[in-house]
Structure 1
């Protein structure tokens, strides 16, 4: 008998796939959910309207940003924010966040139907919407480390490129706390994270979400 994991109250209105909550920004096509694929229109709405990428509801007084080491370098994060309880659920069940997936999937979502077949519709929008811009660069690469940065609404800021195209969320902000979410086996990462905390004048980390 399959046990369906309990979901946060905020997510009880969301559909399930395989017993798991379908994130609000997940791309769906022809009745299939492309976990790992992103509906870029919904991503844009989540960023600009301050919505949680998991439940789709407006973010509150405590906002978590999902941040990778490369995001720290560029000073912006592509992922929309999440509620604390939605982050806790994703941390348990998302393979990229809980460590079950060691690498990004090798076959790109760009030109494939979410069910694994070539998309039969040449006019389908999925080539433009299912794949983050850096997916091809990450295809088959080792999974990255993730941290959750706790911020308040006053530090929720959008980041655009010189052409005014939306990139994501600005990380050149005041951060209340950094929580490690996923750690790969790379030497020196904890030391680097500690250095980041020192530079941002943050308290020591905690695994609680």
Structure 2
């Protein structure tokens, strides 16, 4: 992580905790020994989805909002990742090594969690898997649905304002695998 670029922390996120110079998103869980488990979701992500709160800063969302989605999420038009303010989305696209495309693979071993925490439903399938391209889906709203036994933000019935690729580190053959 130390070799990754560390973008400046925007003023609106200055009160958030940090690790290695990066803001800890509001929906990132913290273990009892104080470790933040990046890449996992705190159970409060359900509140973020239902109450339309930003997954990074925890404040109420306004229009437009952004869903950051993996390529495999796009056909489903749904993700378990909470929506973000556009400015929080921009920070995430710079700060998160997975979203920014600076990691080629997901971690190969599961992170040690406290007994009160659980891994997301797709953790096992991502362990050691190649990273996927990420996209920013701009919306004026979303529906909360159940997807694979978990809550998710969906735009199945909502026309996106735009869908933009975030990282360009993937070739056409990567997208067709």
TM-score under structure 2 normalisation? 0.86
Corresponding residue of 1:150: 138
The total of aligned residue pairs comes to 170
Say if 2:171 is the partner of 1:186.
yes
Shift in alpha-carbon separation, 1:133–1:183, aligned structure 2, 3 A: farther
For residues 161-193 of structure 1, the C-alpha deviation after alignment (integer angstroms, 9 at most, x for no partner) is: 59xx54301121211111211234231688x9x
Corresponding residue of 1:100: 102
Corresponding residue of 2:11: 9
Within 1, Cα distance between the matches of 2:102 and 2:110? 19
Corresponding residue of 1:43: 45
Name the structure where helix makes up a greater proportion of residues: 1
Which structure has the larger Rg over C-alpha atoms? 1
Within 2, Cα distance between the matches of 1:55 and 1:76? 21
Unaligned 5+ runs, structure 2: none
Shift in alpha-carbon separation, 1:143–1:82, aligned structure 2, 3 A: same
Corresponding residue of 2:27: 25
User: Would you identify which runs of 4 or more consecutive aligned residues in structure 1 move more than 6 Å?
Assistant: none
Corresponding residue of 2:67: 65
Is 1:97–1:182's contact at 8 Å kept on the other side of the alignment? Answer: yes
